[in-house]
Amino acid sequence: MKKRYLGNQKQHRFSLFLFLLLLVLTACGNAASGSESANDTDTAVSPSASKAIQNKGSDTLVNIALAWAEAYREVDPSVSIAVTGGGSGTGIAALINGTVDIANASRAMKDSEIEEARANGIEPVEHVVAIDALAVILHPDNPVSQLTIPQLADIYTGRITNWKDVGGNDAPIVLLSRETNSGTHVYFLEEVVRRGEKDNEDIFAPQTLLMPSSVGITSELRRNPNAIGYDGLGYVDPAHEKVLAIAADADSPYVLPTVATASAEEYPLARNLYMYTAGEPQGAVAEYLTWILGPAGQEIVAKLGFVPLP
Amino acid sequence: MTTSKAENGRNLKEAIIEGLIWFSGISAILIIALIFIFLLKEGAPAFVNVPISSLLGRRWYPIEDLFGLLPLLIGSLLVTVGAVVIAVPLGLITAVYLGEFAPTWQRELLKPLIEVLAGIPSIVLGFLGWVVLAPLVQNMGASTGLTAFTGALILAYMSLPTIISITEDALYAVPNEYRDGALAIGATQWQTIWRVVLPAARSGIVIAVMLGIGRAIGETMAVMMVTGNAANIPSWRTGLFFQPVRTMTATIAAEMGEVAQGSVHYSVLFGIGIVLFLITFAINSLATRFVSGGDGRATRRRAQL
């Protein structure tokens, strides 16, 4: 009796294994045929399609970059643009390793990164493509509505750990941040945690939760009344998150981030968004960048809630 | 003449088959050796270029060259220990029920179902943890739902199928004569299980637990989604398990994409890989030792049936 059972079980396992194997094989087959047919449609639309641009980096920029790539298909159907996110650091590392044509970054490249690129024989060229206001956001139930940058620095370094010290409830502060590969993280580190001071070596408090994406920050924020986070203006939904008014210091006026205050340079946390190319852009990449900086490209920036170049 | 020709052919076939079997046997060792050499080659510079005192530091913040591995080690340890404390008793009890108490139809229904659980992709469990478990943990009074405890719960769930399935196999391998003998001298069913069956299946149970631990310590995606990824050393004062932590595996996964090949950060990430490799190696050797300490190979074979 027992022997029978064991035999059945083995048979069962074997069939399960076969089933899974089949599943994997069909999945692979589908994926392969899927990408093939995608290529087919590409060539069908434009028989001369040959130019492909690899575009990777900042998650802040990824939505704009996708919208640009999509709109550009109508401008020049012979160019296909592949856009991926992953963070500014990821895009810059890919540029240094020579695997992308354009790296998106929400921060300027560091000197050390430029040196690494040069060591690999790549001369990175910087292009400012849009402006972003970095919004500091809270749960809607949090009574705090404005903070100064020194207060934010104290909060994010862990010198202030309770909301009551900045005029809120008696509750612990939960710090949310992007991962260290995010340009937004580095910008926030330099401009807020270190208050823009060059010799300041403060870093984020160790209990800071590092979220892998902008969406990670907003979805944790919506369910945690004690959390504080930051995100690009284009990602903030004022219906679900409270946007703070920020002052550069205690004597300055508190300013809410909007397209108007960011382009007038009244909001203290406005920054440039960049695209980097390996060397001066040539051919299709150069045309694409010219189009981005022109009125059609900048109109898309405004439509997505970011700030177009003046 | 013809017979010797046939014999020659057979010998040749034999030799080829033996060669193939030898090759498959040796290939596993070869691949492991290659992986380890690769890890060493990429990771060794970390232990040369970064001073040991810095590697033992309390802060992990690679963009400022702070490479303290302590918070990552403690993070992995907390999550894994938490998972083991939850999963081992639960898994063993389930296996005992399945092996000793459940009627045949229940066992034949439940066991395949449990094995299917092992096939759920970890990212799906991580998503469940993020959406369902994290708010629950937050409601229990933690300042955030993304904590070591949340990670431990998810990992416990992931290692349960392994523990249950292998333990049940080990119990099954215990000869029925043992049970009959124990019952015949007047032992209750519980005494039989606790004093006779479980000790007899000990080596298989140890393997089950070790494989469960291995699964827990190596898991990445689910843990990355629910532990908060704060390179934080939790203190007793504020609830050891109810604080965010960052595990070694999640660190490698989150940061590998951003590093330039050959940089210090890159080699430190591979260094973490070496540490993980050594830990799993230690666990496996410990398991083998524990098992061969008993009646050795024979029981292990039986347990694997």
CB atoms B255 and A180 under 8 Å: yes
Handedness of CA B93, B94, B100, B102 (dihedral sign): positive
- Among A16, A93, A206, select the one facing B260 at the smallest CB separation: A93
For an interface test with A, the pick among B58, B59, B60, B63 (most A C-beta atoms closer than 10 Å) comes out as: B63
Q: Which residues contact B244 (CB under 8 A, 6 or more apart)?
A: A207, A209, B144, B146, B147, B148, B227, B228, B229, B230, B232
- Whether ipTM exceeds 0.85: no
Q: Which residues contact B253 (CB under 8 A, 6 or more apart)?
A: B220, B221, B224
Return the percentage of chain B with pLDDT > 70, whole number. Answer: 93
Mark which of B9, B32, B49 sits at the end of a domain: B49
CB atoms within 10 A of CB A162: 14
Residues B139 and B1 in one domain: no
- Among B66, B228, B260, select the one facing A116 at the smallest CB separation: B260
At the fourth CATH level, which superfamily is domain A132-270? Periplasmic binding protein-like II (3.40.190.10)
CB atoms B144 and A220 under 8 Å: yes
What are A93-137's pLDDT values in tens digits?
999 989 999 999 989 998 989 999 999 899 999 999 999 889 999
Residues B196 and B274 in one domain: yes
Binning pLDDT at 50, 70 and 90, where does residue A40 land?
very low
Could you list the residue range(s) of the whole structural domain that residue B40 is in? Answer: 1-49
Residues B29 and B71 in one domain: no
What are B27-52's pLDDT values in tens digits?
989 998 999 999 999 998 888 888 88
Residues B102 and B34 in one domain: no
Burial of A22 (0-12, 13-18, 19+ CB in 10 A): exposed
The Cα B52–Cα B154 span in angstroms is 33
Binning pLDDT at 50, 70 and 90, where does residue A228 land?
very high
Say what the pLDDT of residue B299 is.
47
Report the amino acid identity of residue B90.
L
What domain count does chain B have?
Answer: 2
Which residues 154-213 on chain B approach chain A with CB closer than 8 angstroms? 172, 176
Say what the pLDDT of residue B293 is.
55
- B249–A contact, CB cutoff 8 A: no
What are B177-211's pLDDT values in tens digits?
999 999 999 999 999 999 999 999 988 898 899 88
Nearest-Cα distance to chain B for A140, in Å, is 16
Q: Which two tokens stand for residue A64?
A: 């704009």
How do beta strands A79-86 and A51-57 pair?
Answer: parallel
* Interface list for chain A against chain B, based on CB atoms closer than 8 Å: 2, 5-6, 8-9, 12-13, 16, 20, 86-87, 89-90, 93, 96-97, 113, 116, 172, 174, 179-181, 186, 189, 201, 203-204, 206-212, 219-220, 223-224, 226-227
Q: What is the CATH number of the domain that holds B253?
A: 1.10.3720.10
CB atoms A207 and B246 under 8 Å: no
Residues B83 and B113 in one domain: yes
Residues B175 and B243 in one domain: yes
The Cα A105–Cα A60 span in angstroms is 8
Q: Which residues of B touch A212 (CB under 8 A)?
A: 224-225, 229, 254
Say what the pLDDT of residue A60 is.
85
CATH of A51-130+272-303, one of 3.40.50.2300, 3.40.190.10, 3.40.50.300, 3.30.1380.20: 3.40.190.10
Residues B99 and B189 in one domain: yes
User: Residue A173: CA atoms inside 13 Å, Cβ hemisphere, count?
Assistant: 27
- Averages of pLDDT over each 10 residues, chain B, 305 residues: 70 91 92 92 88 87 88 92 94 92 90 87 90 90 88 92 92 92 91 92 89 86 89 80 91 83 88 91 82 52 44
Say what the pLDDT of residue A163 is.
94
Distances (CA, A) of A89 to A96, A125, B63, B174, B260: 10, 16, 10, 56, 9
- Among A181, A204, A211, select the one facing B258 at the smallest CB separation: A181
Which of A219, A155, A138 is CA-nearest to residue B146? A219
Residues B147 and B92 in one domain: yes
- The answer on pLDDT for A27 being more than 80 is no
Nearest-Cα distance to chain A for B270, in Å, is 17
Say what the pLDDT of residue A41 is.
36
DSSP B137-164: HHHTT-SSS-SHHHHHHHHHHHHHHHHH
The Cα A304–Cα A66 span in angstroms is 11
Q: What is the mean pLDDT of residues A259-284?
A: 90
- B59–A contact, CB cutoff 8 A: yes
pTM here is: 0.76
Residues B146 and B213 in one domain: yes
Phi, psi of A279 (to 5 degrees): 80, 170
CB atoms B259 and A93 under 8 Å: yes
Residues B39 and B76 in one domain: no
In chain A, CATH 3.40.190.10 sits at 51-130+272-303, 132-270
Residues B45 and B156 in one domain: no
- The answer on pLDDT for A21 being more than 90 is no
Residues B27 and B68 in one domain: no
